[in-house]
Amino acid sequence: MFIQTIDILGTIAFSISGVLVAMNKKMDAFGVFIIAFVTAVGGGTLRDLLIGATPVFWMTDMTFIIVISAAALFAVIFRNYIKHLRRSLFLFDTIGIGLYTVIGIEKGMAVDLHPIFCIILGTMSACFGGVIRDILCNEIPVIFRKEVYATACILGGLTYFLMLEFLEDRNYLFIIAGLVVIAVRLLAVIFKLTLPSLYKSEAELK
């Protein structure tokens, strides 16, 4: 029940994130729903296909379709009350990656994957919905830029396995690992922390 709750919260967060991006691109109602949908389930769909869990999760439980539709409708109706769209998008996207990272890790552990592959699976679950969203919206995905995005998911995954030996209650473990992802992402943006660039700046080239 706890894991399902986290899954639904992550779905809501990513759905709203998708709506905000689609509305910034001035898409029609169908486009807004599609972007919300792929943002919410894209990473989880890839995750399930990789571990052979078919039909994928949203095809076996109508809850996800209902939640995505409701979250998208809510975001559209109250779009005028969601101030500072960029901040809202960032917040919902950050919450989403935190929640989906731990869900992906748990799915990997359920099929006895090595911890490294569990962390990879968690990172993919968290990031690839956003990758699909950005590609469809003609944007360079955040994960491929200098921003600390996938790195936050990896650090959250490492925290999960480091604390696995010390915490018997998995619910607390999920919460802590998810909060690490969210905290790292927030701190990176607040303090303008980025990954090293492979390319020289214009100033360096002169």
And the tokens for 8? 């639904």
Can the peptide bond before residue 115 be classed as cis, meaning omega within 30 degrees of 0? no
Mean pLDDT, the chain, whole residue set: 88
- Residue 155: helix, strand or coil by DSSP? helix
Place of tokens 């486009």: 31
Packed helices 115-136 and 85-110: angle between N→C axes, nearest 10 degrees: 140
Residue 74 has phi, psi (to 5 degrees) of -60, -45
Each residue's pLDDT tens digit, 99-139: 999 999 999 999 999 999 999 999 999 999 999 999 999 99
- Residue 169: helix, strand or coil by DSSP? coil
Arithmetic mean of pLDDT, 54-79: 92
Q: What is the DSSP string of 48-94?
A: HHHTT--S-GGGS-HHHHHHHHHHHHHHHHTTTTS-SHHHHHHHHHH
Each residue's pLDDT tens digit, 15-64: 988 998 999 899 999 999 999 999 999 999 999 999 999 999 999 999 99
Instruction: Show me where the domains of the chain are located.
Output: 2-194
